[in-house]
A and B are shown apart, each in its own frame.
Chain A
Amino acid sequence: MNEFVKPVVDYFELSPLLIVFFAACLGVVVEAFVPRAHRYLVQTLLTVGALVGALVMLVLVAREVPSYADGQARGILAMSGTLALDGPTLFLWGLILVLAILGALLFAERHLDGGVSAFAGQAAALPGTDAERTASTRGLDHTEVYPLLLFAVFGMLLFPASNDLLTMFVALEILSLPLYLLTGLARRRRLLSQEAALKYFLLGAFSSGFFLYGAALIYGFSGSMQFSQISEAVRNDVDNRVMLLVGLGLLAVGLLFKVGAVPFQAWTPDVYQGAPTPVTAFMSAGTKVAAFGAILRLFYVAFGADRWSWQPMLWIIAILTMVLGAVLALTQTDIKRLLAYSSVAHTGFILTGVLGVQASGDLSNGEISSLQAVLFYLATYGLMTLGAFAVVGLVRDSAGEATTLSRWAGLGKEAPVVAGVFAFFLLAMAGIPLTSGFVGKWAVFSVALAAGAWPVVVAAIASSIIAVYLYVRVIVLMYFDEPIGEGPSVVRPSVLTATAIAVGAAATLMLGVLPGPLLDLAARAGEFIR
């Protein structure tokens, strides 16, 4: 029996994680002790303050991180090797925290729906009953959403940093459970929202079951949960290949479900449509960033030596995801479902980047590594999706948000600025030059091409063309079609939503015109530590 060794906690390096976690716990205490009238202000300040604080600490940590082992990568293994704080982790943490701050601003928006937030006044009151009407006339608000947001952010920070399978599973659940609840808390169209929560929960729990069984099989194969030791076993062990392959496949199911890749995309449109729009905005951006961080670490660090087992599988999934996402998006009549399928297509593009495995040693001058391309794409995708969903929240009629696509006809005349910003986000998603989407696509295509995955790149270009048609159709609808009957109106948002949209749009423009600094930052992030 091994001697028990007290784990060392690197408080300084882990401080972004710890700040978010303690703020979440404090948020629960606030719910219990602060009078209802003050909770909104206290919770908003606590949430945004904690996230900004975590971001500041992250910058300080990133400046201090020592180089690791052979000097190729920078980072430390924290908590007895269960967390890897390396360059890519810190980059993703920064991205997740920025997205979370913008998401928290959207959560706090109260101007759009006559002085109340987008969340149910009293989730326990049944839709259409007196209790619900009382709750809404009293102007009740669920301020529990802020601690839930922080717990989800904590899970998202933990997910790409986890360096063993058990931590990864726990992080997956910490990230998912608050999101299931948030999905079901919409103020308007509560039946849809509850149904979305049920579907998300059942399918999410199902897929995490697959992830866990995969983890069990890989543990059985290698005798350890640590990625470095799994990698060792993959290199040396020739027995039990079946167990390795089945375990790898099951782990992939769990992770690909979270990013919404094609055989596992069924939940995406339903959940994106049913969830309150601020939640959709935050979740679509944050979950994808965190889950791709985890996918990269799992496949590159633990199974990097066995690349030929998983690459063909990812080839097929990437092609299916891009093509089906783009084609199904064409058939949608609801703007939130359309954006959901477009995010499925983006998952495929990011997977294309994951396929281009290259060590930074093999690169000639000016080439970018696949890790760098994927990190950059995640940044562009997260900011433009969050911005686009924030705009969707502004277009409303008497029944709440007007998400039916035909109702958006003629919006360009009604509200030129909002329609213009939305059109800009759509062009970025289509990958038009001078937007961040173009640079992101160019980066992932070029790394996939360098790794010889040309069939995937051909499929990616084909589905990009389909997607351009899709987005241009929406723009034509907004600017050149006559409105049908009484069109929806664009509500003037408070400074909170305006900030989120402005940051999203500015980042999308800046990263398109001047991608250098962020690409440099992604390059400086270096490699995963092993």
Chain B
Amino acid sequence: MNEYVVLSSILFTIGCVGVLTRRNAIVVFMCVELMLNACNLAFVAFARQHGNLDGQIAAFFVMVVAAAEVVIGLAIIMTIFRTRRSASVDDASLLKY
């Protein structure tokens, strides 16, 4: 039981570190998805522990939300890529201070 929660926290941390260190917007976004999936694992593990279905239902909702997020996110990243020929988050630096 505990192992799953530990695994989910490791996945979450990997995703979190990835968002902070990677430079390609697509990879950053994949790391966010990894964080959401780590949440799913935690939800399902806790649902099993408590013996109710709330957590499993939550996992389905999260999947739907993640899919919607992919649609919006890829659209935005695609526009940026087509304009600048680069998906690096370092290149998008017109707005500062």
**A interface residues (Cβ-Cβ under 8 A, vs B):** 123-124, 126-127, 166, 169-170, 173, 177, 180-181, 184, 190-192, 194-199, 201-202, 205-206, 209-210, 212-213, 215-217, 219-220, 223-225, 269-270, 273-274, 331-332, 337
Contacts and interface: CB of A to CB of B under 8 A. Distances in A.
A299 to B, nearest CB: 21
A140 to B, nearest CB: 17
Given A194-B76, A197-B76, A331-B97, A173 B69 contact: yes
Contact of A195 (B36, B39, B95): B95
Interface of B: 5, 8, 12, 15-16, 19, 25, 28-29, 32, 35-36, 38-39, 42-43, 45-46, 49-50, 52, 54-55, 57-58, 61-62, 65, 68-69, 72-73, 75-77, 79-80, 82-84, 89, 92-97
A198 B77 contact: yes
B94 A184 contact: no
Given A194-B83, A202-B89, A225 B15 contact: no
A223 B52 contact: yes
Contact of A192 (B39, B94, B97): B94
A225 B73 contact: no
A191 B79 CA distance: 10
Contact residues of A: prevailing secondary structure: helix
A316 to B, nearest CB: 22
B15 A123 contact: no
B92 A199 contact: yes
Contacts of A191: 83-84, 94
B76 A181 contact: yes
A123 B75 CA distance: 11
A205 B19 CA distance: 10
Contact of B80 (A123, A194, A225): A194
B42 A169 contact: no
Contact of A202 (B32, B62, B65, B79): B32
Contacts of B45: 220
A206 B36 contact: no
A273 B94 CA distance: 11
B72 A195 contact: no
12 contacts: A184-B79, A192-B95, A194-B76, A194-B80, A197-B79, A198-B89, A199-B92, A210-B35, A212-B39, A213-B38, A216-B43, A270-B96
Given A181-B72, A205-B69, A219 B43 contact: yes
A123 B76 CA distance: 10
B82 to A, nearest CB: 6
A123 B72 CA distance: 13
A417 B45 CA distance: 62
B33 to A, nearest CB: 9
B32 A198 contact: no
Contacts of A274: 95
Nearest to B93: A195
Nearest to A337: B97
B20 to A, nearest CB: 9
Contacts of B42: 213, 216-217, 220
B72 A220 contact: no
A195 B80 contact: yes
B55 A213 contact: no
A130 to B, nearest CB: 15
Given A166-B58, A198-B92, A212-B39, 13 more contacts: A123-B79, A181-B72, A191-B84, A195-B94, A197-B79, A206-B19, A209-B35, A209-B39, A213-B38, A216-B42, A223-B46, A225-B58, A270-B95
B73 A201 contact: yes
A218 B80 CA distance: 37
Nearest to B91: A195
Contacts of A192: 94-95
